[in-house]
């Protein structure tokens, strides 16, 4: 069990998957820089939870912007949308839906972040959640996600690694990747190209 002072934000999982240096700049050095992509993402999430909790029919209820946490995994944050579907026994089953601005990624970072939400919901509600969904704004398509043993193991492993990473308090050196770095809001602070060029020049000057 983690103390509340040791909780990490659910959003840190996404940052850790995307770039460990970015994660450290945000969650260790407490820096934040906006660009058009971060602003568009914030607006997209605001649209997702701008409505109050509402219900649709007798068999579905929807909660938006639900605050969640897990003492076991040391997590806290907000779930964009949690649908509750009534099953044949009259039990309300949670079904989390995470909204993403872009499109599905090759890495499983979005799935892991959603599964981390599931860990929080299961602990808080005492329920077993089998599935959820990721909605992507660019494709306007909803992808169902099964929380199987493989995804749960990957998520737990990532959370433990992230705790250790943040506790170490060390910011990794910059490593430029074309495309990924160019679209990052931290580009002017991180300066990955400058560091890469200095290393390249040094190597050329070696006898």
pLDDT higher than 90, residue 52: no
Mean of all residue pLDDT scores within the chain = 84
H/E segment holding residue 2: none
pLDDT higher than 70, residue 123: yes
pLDDT-based confidence at residue 191 (cuts at 50, 70, 90): confident
Between CA 12 and CA 17 the distance in angstroms is: 9
Q: Which of 33-47, 49-63, 139-153, 182-196 has the highest mean pLDDT?
A: 139-153
Task: Give the orientation angle of helix 11-18 with respect to helix 149-168, to 10 degrees.
Answer: 80
Residue 124: burial class (beta carbons within 10 Å; 0-12, 13-18, 19+): middle
Residue 116 · residue 132 · CB < 8 Å: no
The whole-number pLDDT of residue 49 equals 53
Which sequence spans correspond to the domains of the chain?
A: 4-171, 173-207
pLDDT higher than 50, residue 103: yes
pLDDT-based confidence at residue 18 (cuts at 50, 70, 90): confident
Q: Which carries the bigger pLDDT value, residue 19 or residue 58?
A: 19
The whole-number pLDDT of residue 115 equals 98
pLDDT-based confidence at residue 186 (cuts at 50, 70, 90): confident
pLDDT higher than 80, residue 205: no
Report the CATH architecture of 4-171: Alpha-Beta Complex (3.90)
The percentage of residues in the chain with a pLDDT greater than 90, rounded to a whole number, is 57
Backbone angles phi, psi at 52, to 5 degrees: -75, 165
Between CA 11 and CA 8 the distance in angstroms is: 8
The whole-number pLDDT of residue 187 equals 80
pLDDT higher than 50, residue 53: no
């Amino acid at each position: 069990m983690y103390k509340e002072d040791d909780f990490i934000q659910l959003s840190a999982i996404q940052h850790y998957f995307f770039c460990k240096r970015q994660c450290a700049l945000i969650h260790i050095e407490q820096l934040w820089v906006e660009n058009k992509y971060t602003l568009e993402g914030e607006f997209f999430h605001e649209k997702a939870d701008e409505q109050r909790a509402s219900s649709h029919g007798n068999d579905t209820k929807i909660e938006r912007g639900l605050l969640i946490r897990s003492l076991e995994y040391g997590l806290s944050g907000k779930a964009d949308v949690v649908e509750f579907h009534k099953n044949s026994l009259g039990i309300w089953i949670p079904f989390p839906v995470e909204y993403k601005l872009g499109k599905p990624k090759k890495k499983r970072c979005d799935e892991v972040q959603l599964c981390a939400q599931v860990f929080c919901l299961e602990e808080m509600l005492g329920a077993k959640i089998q599935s959820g969904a990721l909605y992507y704004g660019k494709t306007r398509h909803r992808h169902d996600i099964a929380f199987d043993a493989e995804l749960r193991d990957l998520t737990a492993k990532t959370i433990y690694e992230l705790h250790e990473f943040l506790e170490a308090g060390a910011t990794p050196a910059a490593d430029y990747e074309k495309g990924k770095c160019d679209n990052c809001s931290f580009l002017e602070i991180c300066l990955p190209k400058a560091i890469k060029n200095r290393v390249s020049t040094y190597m050329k000057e070696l006898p």
